[in-house]
């Protein structure tokens, strides 16, 4: 089953390009800081230097190495995005599944709750929550972001499960005496697996973007360096008005590269698995 599922994916050019770009940045984040052993917080006298042999991406106002910051930043941002994505996916799956299986009043209540969160300007609530926390670790940031991006996923999961549950093969499996657990594993999970994976990928994007936004408004993680924190430092020191392009360009390029690679992966998966998009 898996072979027939994944083969067409690896024949899709877009998917491969997206995957390669993402893997490069994943490797930069994981292995980068281990290979390039410069302390990103070490201040030196070479301040505001453009890229050179000693500092491949130059230095900031305090003489800190931008490349070291960037590698550390990619690592933190990916971590926040991944964690926020897991949280959103878990909440969305639980609420969507409960709604579809239980129906009735539980469904009504859960769906009104979902719609309320969907219309709530989540960015604003996230900013508000973050403003009341004195210490914000990467995990706390991921939690704040993860708590608000699940509603559309929950609705989609509910709709898909409801349509699957009313199909004949599910009915037949029930008649054949399948346990609920076996039903879920064999009949339900395969139908939502690809959609969940695509959403997972997009939730990572939400987490990375959200972290950058919170950081720029001054509410990012209070310790460590992320891509958002790098941009915030650059804005605080007026890097763009003083022409220090090597400071604010790399973190933005990293954000755009990682998030668009993930978006391309999810779009390519949609093209492969969605019958309404399959080329005729």
Nearer to another protein, 54 or 133 (CB): 133
Nearer to another protein, 9 or 184 (CB): 9
Segment interacting with another protein (CB under 8 A) among 53-61, 73-81, 110-118, 158-166: 110-118
Nearer to another protein, 149 or 196 (CB): 149
Segment interacting with another protein (CB under 8 A) among 36-44, 65-73, 91-99, 259-267: 259-267
- Indicate which single residue of 22, 158, 259, 272 sits in contact with another protein (rule: CB under 8 A): 259
Segment interacting with another protein (CB under 8 A) among 1-9, 47-55, 115-123, 165-173: 115-123
Nearer to another protein, 188 or 261 (CB): 261
Nearer to another protein, 190 or 243 (CB): 243
Question: Least Å distance between CB 104 and another protein?
Answer: 19
Binding residues for another protein restricted to 175-234, rule: CB under 8 A: 205, 209, 212-213, 216-219, 231, 234
Contact 65, 38 (CB under 8 A): yes
User: How many CA atoms lie less than 13 Å away from 105 in the CB half-sphere?
Assistant: 0
Binding residues for another protein restricted to 260-279, rule: CB under 8 A: 260, 263-264, 267, 276-277, 279
In DSSP terms, 65 is beta-bridged to 59
Does position 50 bind another protein by CB under 8 A? no
Rg for the chain (alpha carbons), in Å? 22
Residue 8 has which token pair?
Answer: 């067409």
- Indicate which single residue of 115, 180, 182, 186 sits in contact with another protein (rule: CB under 8 A): 115
Residue 75 has which token pair?
Answer: 């690592």
Q: Residue 135 carries which DSSP code? A: -
- Indicate which single residue of 30, 125, 140, 164 sits in contact with another protein (rule: CB under 8 A): 125
Q: Reduced to 3 DSSP states, what percent helix, strand and coil does the chain have, rounded to the nearest 5?
A: 70, 0, 25
- Taking alpha carbons only, the member of 230, 259, 222, 264 closest to residue 64 is 230
Contact 68, 43 (CB under 8 A): no
Does position 120 bind another protein by CB under 8 A? yes
Contact 220, 142 (CB under 8 A): no
Distances (CA, A) of 170 to 86, 88, 164, 166: 28, 28, 7, 7
Distances (CA, A) of 251 to 7, 72, 125, 193, 216: 34, 11, 25, 32, 12
Question: Least Å distance between CB 234 and another protein?
Answer: 7
Residues near another protein, by CB under 8 A: 115-116, 118-125, 127-129, 131-134, 205, 209, 212-213, 216-219, 231, 234-235, 239-243, 245, 248-249, 252, 255-256, 259-260, 263-264, 267, 276-277, 279
């Amino acid at each position: 089953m898996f072979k027939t599922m994944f083969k067409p994916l690896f024949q899709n050019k877009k998917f491969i390009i997206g995957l390669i770009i993402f893997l490069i940045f994943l490797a930069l984040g994981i292995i980068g800081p281990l290979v390039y052993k410069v302390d990103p917080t070490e201040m030196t006298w070479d301040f505001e230097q453009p890229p050179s042999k000693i500092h491949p991406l130059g230095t900031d106002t305090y003489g800190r190495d931008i490349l070291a910051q960037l590698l550390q930043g990619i690592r933190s941002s990916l971590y926040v995005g991944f964690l926020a994505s897991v949280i959103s996916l878990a909440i969305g799956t639980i609420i969507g599944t409960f709604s579809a299986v239980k129906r009735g009043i539980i469904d009504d209540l859960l769906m009104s709750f979902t719609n309320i969160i969907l219309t709530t300007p989540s960015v604003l609530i996230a900013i508000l929550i973050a403003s009341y926390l004195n210490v914000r670790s990467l995990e706390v940031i991921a939690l704040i972001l993860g708590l608000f991006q699940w509603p559309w996923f929950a609705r989609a999961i509910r709709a898909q499960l409801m349509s699957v549950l009313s199909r004949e093969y599910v009915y037949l499996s029930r008649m054949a005496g399948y346990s609920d657990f076996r039903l879920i594993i064999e009949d339900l999970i395969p139908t939502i697996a690809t959609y969940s994976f695509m959403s997972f990928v997009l939730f990572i994007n939400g987490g990375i973007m959200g972290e950058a936004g919170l950081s720029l408004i001054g509410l990012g993680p209070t310790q460590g360096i992320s891509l958002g924190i790098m941009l915030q430092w650059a804005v605080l020191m007026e890097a763009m008005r003083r022409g220090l392009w090597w400071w604010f360009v790399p973190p933005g390029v990293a954000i755009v590269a990682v998030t668009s690679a993930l978006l391309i992966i999810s779009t390519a998966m949609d093209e492969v698995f969605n019958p309404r998009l399959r080329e005729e």
